[in-house]
Amino acid sequence: MNPARLTSIAQVTGGTYYAAPDASAIRFIYFEIAMRFKGSITCGTLTASNPMGGSLSLTLANRQYPTQTVRLESSGVSVTQQQGGLVQEGIPVAVEPSGLGTATLRLTLLSFLGPSFSASGSDYQFLSGQFLGATVDDTTITRPNLADQSGEVVTISDFVQYWGDQGLATPGAVAGIRGILGQSSSQLLWGNANMTGKNPTQAKFNVDNAQSSLSAAALRVSQEVTAGNMDASLGDATKNDIVRVGCALDQFKNWYTGVTFTIQSPNAAAWAVWFNRTFATSGVPLSYGAVGNQVVLTVRAVDRFIITERVVSLGFY
């Protein structure tokens, strides 16, 4: 073997010559090569929204009966009187449990198009409606397996141990980092048990704790590198792996966040009551509330979301 010639060839071809005096040195060469091509991992979040609009209202009043307004809005029918309001016919929606405390959500929405118009008086008014079309969006929302992610954390821990044994980190640094990673792995196994027990809300709590431990592990890695107790390349590789698992856990949290409906209506309080009556027995986590003319409903832990949108053009003639 001619090191000088090999070095010359590497320089001419734009490469690098690595000397391996014995078999054990090859491991470090592979590690160094891997670190030369390290990348930066960032998490991303995709949020989709589907605005639906339009409403049709009819206000009736005479000397004998109190004034009332009937509104066709958000694919439902609401009625408002002086004493209050109610949703006479709600949104066509179905929540179908799909196991593990999760659900498939099916929803049909009606959207009105056309210029604003109004009429008053006692004469006849003719309203025309033209069906413009319908679309169906069937989305499966990915939920990472928490047991698999626990295994990924164990792999990171073993990686740190292996390279620590090769002299790239002190035993104290290795023990400290592995101890924190062990806490994260245990939380994820606990979360997987809660998912198996159909308790996604508690599983989400476990994932939050696991992510906190991962953040603490990444901080500990940086501290050990700064203190000279861990090789910088090993530190970068370990933190990249931690971020990768953190991204997967973000995906779980996004899945748990679920699907949110927002309705703007002068009868928002009645819609809140309808939401409670419709979804209270669905068996999936949810939250709802009304503020002013806005009501918000969130259905959590949705594995599949099927939305049918029907569009109608309205106008007088």
Average pLDDT of the residues in 188-214: 96
Is there a single domain that holds both residue 242 and residue 148? Answer: yes
Least confident residue range of 84-88, 138-142, 175-179, 281-285: 281-285
> Between these two residues, 312 and 210, which has the higher pLDDT value?
210
Mean confidence (pLDDT) of the chain: 84
| pLDDT band (50, 70, 90) for residue 248 | very high
Domain count, the chain: 3
On whether residue 279 sits in a domain, the answer given is yes
| pLDDT band (50, 70, 90) for residue 58 | confident
| pLDDT band (50, 70, 90) for residue 193 | very high
pLDDT for the residue numbered 50:
63
Can you tell me the distance from the alpha carbon of 208 to that of 18, in angstroms, rounded to the nearest whole number? 44
Among candidate residues 219, 225, 245, 223, the one with its CA nearest the CA of residue 164: 225
> Is this structure's pTM higher than 0.85?
no
Which residue type sits at 262? T
Tens digits of residue pLDDT in 116-173: 777 777 777 788 888 889 889 898 888 999 999 999 999 999 999 999 998 999 999 9
Q: How many residues does the chain have?
A: 317
Q: Sign of dihedral through CA atoms 229, 233, 234, 240?
A: positive
Domain final residue, candidates 240, 255, 270? 255
Is there a single domain that holds both residue 151 and residue 229? Answer: yes
Per the listing, tokens 């709590």 go with 205
Is there a single domain that holds both residue 130 and residue 264? Answer: yes
pLDDT for the residue numbered 226:
96
DSSP 168: S
CA distances from 98 to 136, 148, 299, 304 (A): 20, 21, 14, 9
Which residue type sits at 114? G
What is the domain extent for residue 1? 1-37
Give rounded-to-5 percent helix, strand, coil for the chain: 45, 30, 30
> Between these two residues, 300 and 74, which has the higher pLDDT value?
300
Average pLDDT of the residues in 95-123: 82
Is there a single domain that holds both residue 148 and residue 247? Answer: yes
Is there a single domain that holds both residue 199 and residue 290? Answer: no
- The answer to whether the beta carbons of residues 289 and 296 sit under 8 Å apart is yes
Is there a single domain that holds both residue 263 and residue 117? Answer: yes
Tell me the residue ranges of DSSP E strands in the chain: 55-60, 68-73, 76-81, 84-89, 93-99, 102-113, 127-140, 259-264, 286-291, 294-299, 302-316
Q: Could you tell me what percent of the chain has a pLDDT over 90?
A: 34
On whether residue 172 sits in a domain, the answer given is yes
pLDDT for the residue numbered 251:
92
| pLDDT band (50, 70, 90) for residue 266 | confident
Is there a single domain that holds both residue 173 and residue 218? Answer: yes
Q: Sign of dihedral through CA atoms 11, 13, 16, 18?
A: negative
DSSP 141: P
Q: Domain of 210: which CATH number?
A: 1.20.1440
The secondary structure element, H or E, covering residue 243 is: helix 232-257
On whether residue 48 sits in a domain, the answer given is no
Is there a single domain that holds both residue 114 and residue 165? Answer: no
**Residue 13 Cα to chain centre, angstroms:** 47
Is there a single domain that holds both residue 158 and residue 248? Answer: yes
Average pLDDT of the residues in 53-59: 78
> Between these two residues, 53 and 39, which has the higher pLDDT value?
53
Is there a single domain that holds both residue 15 and residue 82? Answer: no
Is there a single domain that holds both residue 126 and residue 267? Answer: yes
pLDDT above 70 for 175: yes
On whether residue 44 sits in a domain, the answer given is no
- For strands 102-113 and 302-316, give the pairing: parallel
The secondary structure element, H or E, covering residue 161 is: helix 146-165
Is there a single domain that holds both residue 73 and residue 129? Answer: yes
- The answer to whether the beta carbons of residues 78 and 267 sit under 8 Å apart is yes
Which two tokens mark 64? Answer: 């004998």
SS3 177: helix
pLDDT above 60 for 41: no
pLDDT for the residue numbered 68:
85
On whether residue 47 sits in a domain, the answer given is no
On whether residue 204 sits in a domain, the answer given is yes
